[in-house]
Amino acid sequence: MFETLRAEVDGDLGHLTLDRPKKLNPLSTLTLSELAAAARWFDEQPGVKVVIVSGAGRAFSAGADLGSFAGRQEVSIRDAAERGREMADALEGMRALSIAAIQGWCVGGGLVLAAACDLRVAAADARFSIPEVDLGIPLAWGGIPRLVREIGPALTKELVLTCRPFDAAEAKAAGFLNRIVPGDELEASVLELAHSLASKATHTLVSTKRHVNAVTDQMVGTMRSWSDADGLVTAFHDEECADARRNYLRARGGDG
């Protein structure tokens, strides 16, 4: 049904898996569109109460596939840049509860994807990074309000501005993660949590999710990110931002 991910139903559980493991599950414009479509598809499966969101292979997601945004698009550059916000909004608005199962690297847009989930469980050796500023682009896709909601404004500024990596222990202490488990127990632990939630009445699950989301939306308002795409478009055309992007890629052996 999809090219870059798998969406499956197993009883009252759904599984949404990023499926480009050789490239560490990058988020191309196609993947973003497919994630939004998958969220809408799960809404059409009335028996699904919980959706587990994961990445195949050794990483959750390496983040945005910048090449897909810079390449030839069937839509405008701004519309392509808007795909990330649409993805996060669709996943967060999904009726079913979502649990992000995070292993390996969770980078940039991948972290926004995880932040759009209701709960987050990570392997003890998971690593996180938000390199956008070093790449000469602002963190977009509704990432800023979601991070402020989960970890507060001061730490959001520090992590986004410094671009420094951080580990699962710091992510848990900051409030971004619900649980940390040994790497070889991640799948079993997430399944146990998912089955526990799915055993509860649908109405109470949905009501609680919507109630919490309504309260936090009044606090940080993800709808304020409607102009995120404009910031990305500006960054792609700004020469100083382009220099930062080239230097970042060159320092890491890229094509910069």
**DSSP H helices in the chain:** 29-43, 66-70, 77-93, 109-115, 143-151, 153-162, 168-174, 186-198, 202-220, 228-237, 239-251
What range does the domain containing 18 cover? 5-184
Average pLDDT score over residue span 76-82 = 76
* Domain of residue 59, CATH code: 3.90.226.10
Does residue 173 fall inside a structural domain? yes
Sheet holding 50-55, edge to edge: 5-10, 13-18, 50-55, 97-102, 119-123, 179-181
Q: Identify whether 80 is part of a domain.
A: yes
> Could you tell me if residue 189 is inside a domain?
no
Tell me, yes or no, whether 238 lies in a domain.
Answer: no
pLDDT tens by residue, 213-243: 999 887 776 666 667 778 888 888 889 988 9
Q: Does the CA dihedral 53-66-123-92 come out positive or negative?
A: negative
Whole-structure pTM value: 0.91
Longest Cα–Cα distance of the chain, Å, equals 54
In a domain, 191, yes or no: no
At 225 the pLDDT is 62
Q: What's residue 221's pLDDT?
A: 66
- DSSP code per residue over 75-100: S-HHHHHHHHHHHHHHHHH-SSEEEE
Closest by CA to 151, choosing from 115, 126, 176, is: 176
Please report the DSSP string for 220-255 in residue order.
H-GGGGGGHHHHHHHHHH-HHHHHHHHHHHHHTTS-
Q: Among 76-80, 151-155, 245-249, which is the least confidently predicted range?
A: 76-80
**How many Å apart are CA 30 and CA 42, to the nearest integer?**
18
Considering the domain boundaries, does residue 231 fall inside one?
A: no
**Mean pLDDT value of segment 182-208:** 98
Q: Is residue 227 part of a domain?
A: no
Tell me 142's DSSP state: T
Are the beta carbons of 143 and 115 closer than 8 angstroms? yes
**Number of separate domains in the chain:** 1
Residue 22 lies in a domain: yes
Condensed to tens digits (0 to 9), the pLDDT of residues 107-136 reads 999 999 999 999 999 999 999 999 999 999
The DSSP output letter for 47 is T
Residues 143-187 have pLDDT tens digits of: 999 999 999 999 999 999 999 999 999 999 999 999 999 999 999
Supply the pLDDT for residue 157. Answer: 98
